[in-house]
Amino acid sequence: MSGSNPLELYNKMLKEARAEIESKENRARVLVGTATCGVSAGALKIKEDFNREIKEKSLDVDVIEVGCMGHCYAEPLAVIAKPGYPPVCYGYLDDGLVHRLVEDFLDGDDPSYEYALAALERNDVFPTFEDFPRGVYEKKLILEKCGYIDARDIKGYIARDGYSAMAKALTGEPHQVLEEVKAANLRGRGGAGFPAGIKWEACMNGGAEEKYVICNADEGDPGAFMDRSILESDPHLVIEGMILCAYAIGAQKGYLYIRAEYPRAVGHVQEAIDQARAKGLLGNSILGSEFDFDLEIFQGSGAFVCGEATALVNSMEGKMGMPESRPPRLASQGFRGKPTILNNVKTFAYVPFIINRGADWFKGIGTEESPGTAVFSLVGKVTNTGLVEVPMGTTLRQLIYDVGDGLPNDKEFKAVQIGGPSGGCLPESALDVPIDFDSLHDAGAIMGSGGLVVMDEDDCMAAVARYFLEFTQHESCGKCTFCRLGTKHMLDILNDITRGEGDAETLGLLKELAEDVRDGSLCNLGKTAPNPVLTTLEYFYEEYKAHLEEGRCPALVCRDLILYYIEPPKCSKLCNVCVGSCPTEAIFTRDDGLKEIDQEKCVKCDNCLKACPPEYNAIVKLSPPVLPPEKEKKAK
């Protein structure tokens, strides 16, 4: 034993980290956002471009990879921090812009504000993200450091007081951590919102010597990516939260269950674990204390159902990811039959804040019943897509119109889908619902893990319900009757509806079956799978009816109920763009020079409609799929 106390050891570490980071910050730096979303927009090439341009000019500038700042709509983006100027974020980068920024700003002294999105620090020259309209609503806690620090260097995290909550906790008693989390009323961010402190207490009292802490990073909801982003951008925050949990309940071993589709997150977390271990922040006698705890990654193998607690544990034990009936709960009998805490990435990420700043501070954010913030991935038909963090209690309208800046292309709002395949579609009338666990549940949706997809007038609600059912049916583990066969028959019925097949009884049967699957399924995947169907039936019944009674898809989406048609008066005759765009050679030039679509050959891929120049706009979709009588033909 070294005899020194954890806080002393930590403070030494902090001082060193700060000194090193500060010396780096005294030089010009380029921070390129290279989370998976940035990479898909070409961020790695942008990084190369910066390196090349900087080398050509022989500048002394570091180019560093950072995570995601949440402004995904402007990817690829980078921050240039040059001493003497506020750090500035630039979006929509390409090689030309990189060249210009290096030449004018890094080599010269013109920050090229005309290309800047925002500054990151308050200054007299250029507005910051907080000055945006969305700044009023945003409150960044767990996303605070995402995109601002080098996720692959532990010192960046430490220099911003990272691991200080852990050092503080280690000088006190485990029950103090538990009491603080309980007092904060931190509710689990995985979906249902069960209070984490109560779970932890049950686990602490679970009796056994051996206990486990597992982080559920099997983010399977299509349309949600905040867990990936946090793990890629600020992995140590989650690790610190897990260590605090382990200390509180007396666990010696923890696992991060990360889905296979997130290779970058796996890489960053593994590096973070290794670095933490090397610094004595993980492993035996953490920070010289008597507390031992170590972490390992378990990679999922692609099964949505493994987001379900019991299925996740089964899969970690080398079995099929099948849910089990509960009780017993994991807190008493979990991994290897031992008391286990399973919490979501975001739940753990809040813990260091709560320990550092206290339960009262945490409860000062959000609502009484749902304290803290909510993190959403805002996607779909919304102008500013990306990651957002707002206090609980913010309304959906504020989130979509103020933070997300509304819908693009002057389209009309139709619905917002919250909570992925387990959630529901809420209409315009529900936009003033405050975002918290209970209000969303009452409205028919769920908080879920935080996917929020905005839909406009061009989206068909029957098709959306069909999409989600196809997903859950494909991901159903097949163990219990209701989910295995119920989702199959629901999908069959929805397939019929989107083809206009069915009668008055069809919608009644669909609703009946959906309710029974909800009430009769074994696990939460099955119990919540009907939500997209039940909410769309409730709020968009007329749209379903139009499919069945008129063979019409009002949103012009369902391909069996629409056809593509070139309006003769609008067609230019001289332009051949549509003919070239068609992958099946369905468009031909008639004797009179007009273009026409051979309906037999058309696969309704939408290419021609997108290709037709806006000045003509000659191609339309018609539903029901009936060609209008042709006047020209008569003239011929």
Partner 1 sequence: MQLLEGEKEQILDCVKEVLIESSKKSEDLIPILQKVQAKLGYLPALAMEKIAEGTGVSGADVYGLATFYNQFRLNPPGDHQVKVCLGTACYMVGGDITLESFERRMEIREGETSPDRRYSLERVACVGCCTMAPVVVVDNEVEGKVTPTRVDGIMLALEGESGKAKESRDAEKEEGEQK
Partner 2 sequence: MNEHVKITIDDREVKARPGQKLLWAALENDIFIPHLCAIEAEKRPNASCRLCFVEIEGVPNPVTSCTKTVEDGMVVKTRSSRVDRLVKTAFELLLSDHDLKCRECPANRNCALQTIAKERGLKLRQKRFTPVARNYETDDSPEEFAFNRSRCVLCGQCVWADRRENKIGVIGFAKRGINRVVTTFQDLPLAESICKECTVCVDVCPVGALYYKEPEE
What are the residues binding partner 1 (CB under 8 A)? 36-37, 39-41, 72-73, 75, 219-225, 228-229, 260-263, 298-304, 315-321, 377, 379-381, 385-386, 417, 420, 451, 453, 455, 459, 464, 467-468, 471, 475, 477, 581, 583-584, 603, 605-607, 610
Task: Tell me which of partner 2, partner 1, none is bound by residue 164, counting a contact when its beta carbon lies within the kind-specific cut-off of 5 to 8 angstroms.
Answer: none
Task: Tell me which of partner 2, partner 1, none is bound by residue 316, counting a contact when its beta carbon lies within the kind-specific cut-off of 5 to 8 angstroms.
Answer: partner 1
The pair of three-digit structure tokens given for residue 395, joined into one six-digit string: 């309304």
Question: In Å, what is the CA distance from 606 to each residue of 445, 580, 585, 602?
Answer: 32, 13, 13, 10
Query: Of the candidates 52, 489, 499, 545, which one interacts with partner 2 according to CB under 8 A?
Result: 489
> What's the CA gap between 101 and 110, in Å, rounded?
8
Residue 400 CB neighbours (<10 A):
23
Nearer to partner 2, 315 or 398 (CB): 315
Closest contact distance (angstroms) between CB of 8 and partner 1 is: 38
Closest contact distance (angstroms) between CB of 255 and partner 1 is: 12
DSSP-derived pairing of the beta strands 587-589 and 451-456:
unpaired
Q: In this structure, are residues 232 and 265 in contact, taking their beta carbons and an 8 Å threshold?
A: yes
Q: Which of 26, 120, 123 is nearest to 79 (CA)?
A: 120
Q: Does 501 bind partner 2 (CB under 8 A)?
A: no
Q: Which of 193, 199, 168, 164 is nearest to 181 (CA)?
A: 199
Give Cα 371 distance to the centre of its chain. Answer: 20
Residue 285 CB neighbours (<10 A):
13
Q: Does 19 bind partner 2 (CB under 8 A)?
A: no
Nearer to partner 2, 313 or 460 (CB): 313
Q: Which residue has the tokens 């749902």?
A: 370
Task: Tell me which of partner 1, partner 2, none is bound by residue 315, counting a contact when its beta carbon lies within the kind-specific cut-off of 5 to 8 angstroms.
Answer: partner 1
Q: In this structure, are residues 231 and 154 in contact, taking their beta carbons and an 8 Å threshold?
A: no
- Count of residues of this chain found to bind partner 2 when the rule CB under 8 A is applied: 29
Task: Tell me which of partner 2, partner 1, none is bound by residue 299, counting a contact when its beta carbon lies within the kind-specific cut-off of 5 to 8 angstroms.
Answer: partner 1
End-to-end CA distance of the chain: 100
Task: Tell me which of partner 2, partner 1, none is bound by residue 607, counting a contact when its beta carbon lies within the kind-specific cut-off of 5 to 8 angstroms.
Answer: partner 1
Q: Which of residues 511-540 bind partner 2 (CB under 8 A)?
A: 512-513, 516, 519-522
Nearer to partner 2, 187 or 479 (CB): 479
Q: Does 485 bind partner 2 (CB under 8 A)?
A: yes
Closest contact distance (angstroms) between CB of 484 and partner 2 is: 6
Nearer to partner 1, 190 or 380 (CB): 380
Nearer to partner 2, 198 or 509 (CB): 509
Q: Reduce the DSSP state of residue 78 to 3 states and report it.
A: strand
Task: Tell me which of partner 1, partner 2, none is bound by residue 288, counting a contact when its beta carbon lies within the kind-specific cut-off of 5 to 8 angstroms.
Answer: none
Question: In Å, what is the CA distance from 319 to each residue of 158, 316, 330, 408, 503?
Answer: 38, 7, 17, 46, 43
Q: Does residue 328 have a cis peptide bond before it, meaning omega lies within 30 degrees of 0?
A: yes
Point out which residues bind partner 2 (CB under 8 A): 303, 320, 324-325, 473-482, 484-489, 492, 509, 512-513, 516, 519-522
